[in-house]
A and B are shown apart, each in its own frame.
Chain A
């Protein structure tokens, strides 16, 4: 079974600074998708960024970028210029292709310090 591991239960960052959240996954598949979701206190799950495993280029969405290391099965999220609104729980997720199941890590709680 696929597993997704987020080894940092909690992280904190100073406002305007940069923080990196870690995620590793275990799979024997060569084709898959990876996602980062944000869950603020409202508990609404919001897609932050996605990465296709066949693409070597790291995905970027404004202040959010990933460092995708396929051989190491690592998918970290970098948040630049952190803002107070970035405070949330962040979940890493994996989707096998083909397949319909999405597997999530246990999350990292990010605190942004003003």
Chain B
């Protein structure tokens, strides 16, 4: 069976510090990978998605970047965090087929102070 791991679960970082959130998927190959941010009352906002190694699509221009150094690894980064980067970040994957739903990790709660 497939599993998705996301860490850390909680993170408190000062403004201006760097960020690295990591996500890995096990039990499948060549998954589509996604980063979402969830802010209170605003649902889930798609940040980045990737259909393969080194292939990153950005939905929203912002202070964040994503990388996919390996087939089942997806990293969300920032060089300098802003207060507005606080939120709940979710990694997800699905198969490259039309009816495949998203499968989510447990999320990371990021607080920028």
A97 to B99 alpha-carbon distance, docked (Å): 9
Which of the listed residues B59, B92, B99, B103 has the most CB atoms from chain A within 10 Å of its own CB?
Answer: B99
Q: A43-B88, A43-B106, A44-B106 are in contact. Are A104 and B44 (CB under 8 A)?
A: yes
CB distance from B18 to the nearest CB of A (A): 24
Task: Verify A101–B59 contact, CB threshold 8 A.
Answer: yes
Residues of A within 8 A of B32 (CB): 100
Task: Verify B104–A102 contact, CB threshold 8 A.
Answer: no
Task: Verify B49–A100 contact, CB threshold 8 A.
Answer: yes
Q: Is B43 an interface residue (CB 8 A)?
A: yes
A101 to B107 alpha-carbon distance, docked (Å): 19
How many B residues, CB 8 Å from partner?
23
Task: Verify A102–B98 contact, CB threshold 8 A.
Answer: no
A112 to B107 alpha-carbon distance, docked (Å): 25
Q: Is B74 an interface residue (CB 8 A)?
A: no
Task: Verify A106–B101 contact, CB threshold 8 A.
Answer: no
Task: Verify A43–B43 contact, CB threshold 8 A.
Answer: no
Q: Is B46 an interface residue (CB 8 A)?
A: yes
CB distance from B101 to the nearest CB of A (A): 5
Binding site for B on A (CB under 8 A): 4, 6, 9, 33, 35, 37, 42-45, 47, 50, 52, 91, 93, 95, 97-98, 100-107
Binding site for A on B (CB under 8 A): 32, 34, 36, 41-44, 46, 49, 51, 57, 59, 88, 90, 92, 98-99, 101-104, 106-107
